[in-house]
Amino acid sequence: MPAPLLRTSPRALLTGLATGAVLVTTLWLVQAEPSGRLDVLFATLAHLSGLLAGYGILAMLLLMARVPAVEHGVGADRLARWHALGGRYVLTLCCAHAVLALCGYAAHTGTDVIGAAVDLMGYPGLATAAAGTALLVAVGVTSARALRRRVRHETWRATHLLTYVAAALAFAHQLSGPDLAGGPLAAWLWTLLHTTVGTLLIWYRLVVPVRQALRHGLRVVEVRVEGPGVVSVVMQGLGLDALRAEPGQFFRWRFLDRRLWRTSLPFSLSAPVRDDTLRITVKACGDHTRRIRRLRPGVRVLATGPFGALTAHRRTRRKVLLLAGGVGITPLRALFETLPGDPGDLTLLYRAGSAAQLVLREELEAIADARGAALHYLLGPSDDPFDPLAPRALRNLVPDLAEHDVYLCGPPGMSRAAAAALERAGVPAARIHSEQFTF
């Protein structure tokens, strides 16, 4: 029997990151020299913001390193949200470090800020730091919500890769800075921290995907129409049990077709792994997803993963409600088949605009019949006066709703409204399990 998967809880991860920030602050405190001089005060605060910014860059890279224990315990969507939020603070710290250092130098030399900036650019280490900060600003600007929607994914991704260059430039600058250059132990620990994060990035974002591709030889064997604009892609390979993919998880798929190979697309498994076969079900909602419909059997596939924490390990109650909206049925269909339970323990509610938009309907009904599970279709347009996801409507369908764990997957707007309705219906937020991911 394979060893159980390691999972890092969200609390443990946050505690670890916070502890690291405290240790970095302690390093600064030990070396700080109290002074009432303005230039020293600026310099001391610049050192603190610089150290925290460097640590923050490493923390952001760690969140996106795709370490399985972190991905499976915290969830890809939560990691992405923390990364986006933390990135703003890191960028703020970087800018604060630059401004404070500039003000400190100006106060020390008795020059104006512009003259100080010109003088500082003559130092190679500071020019490197300025370049790194500029790269981080470029990444932050292209990641801003208003601009992100207008930038092609490939452009955004290429810009985001500049973070690695910025981290390297920041590391070189910090080793020559006053807080590390004078302390061999501090410099050694800082180097070890960077080396550890760099190793995790290379291993899980480069080595593991290449190894999986060579080992499993995944190829498309069938593209099957499931409904209007919806297809299932069936892929087959070798030794896929070694992936240890769980129902509810997703992979990042790169189809080696001339129109798709540049982009890695995240899609959930819509069926459990069996007979060395993987299946995803995709709705056409953009250029890349529309091209998937034209895939031909034999196309090679690079699958990175599995990712996500929307799995059976989150379950805390005997009874489970699965609530799906649209193509969000895909991970819940796999859970509907595999979650342990006696007849009556499982209920699936499937929200769709009309019967024609239901996906995998025959499979769902066959699973419900075989398991003695309840299956309800909640049909109707989103602007219908009657809301089937209102608290009272949900309690009518599931009378003991408050005693259930709920797995929720659907479009962002529907998921937010459903989560709010479930809480008003008496389900604690801790028992509402959902995951949203984008690419």
pTM of the model: 0.81
CATH hierarchy code of domain 312-434: 3.40.50.80
How far apart, in whole angstroms, are the C-alpha atoms of residue 335 and residue 310?
9
E strands along 346-431, which residues? 346-352, 374-379, 405-409
- What is the residue extent of each domain of the chain? 10-211, 217-307, 312-434
- CA-based Rg of the chain, rounded to a whole angstrom? 25
pLDDT for 13 equals 94
Q: Are 431 and 406 in contact (CB under 8 A)?
A: yes
Residue 267, SS3 per DSSP: strand
Q: Do the beta carbons of residue 266 and residue 205 sit within 8 Å?
A: no
Res 183: pLDDT: 63
- Single-letter amino acid, residue 92: T
Tally of CB atoms within 10 A around 263: 18
> In angstroms, rounded to a whole number, what is the distance separating the alpha carbons of residues 368 and 248?
18
**What fold, for 217-307?**
Elongation Factor Tu (Ef-tu); domain 3 (2.40.30)
Q: State the pLDDT at residue 140.
A: 75
Q: Tell me the average confidence (pLDDT) per consecutive run of 10 residues in the chain, 439 residues long.
A: 69 94 86 75 85 90 90 87 89 86 78 69 67 77 71 71 79 67 72 91 91 90 88 92 90 87 86 91 78 88 89 91 91 94 92 89 94 92 82 91 92 89 92 75
For residue 5, what pLDDT is reported?
A: 67
Cβ-contact 194, 180 below 8 angstroms? no
| 320: CB partners within 8 A, 6+ apart | 339, 341, 345, 346, 347, 404, 405, 406, 407
Cβ contact 70:8 at 8 Å: yes
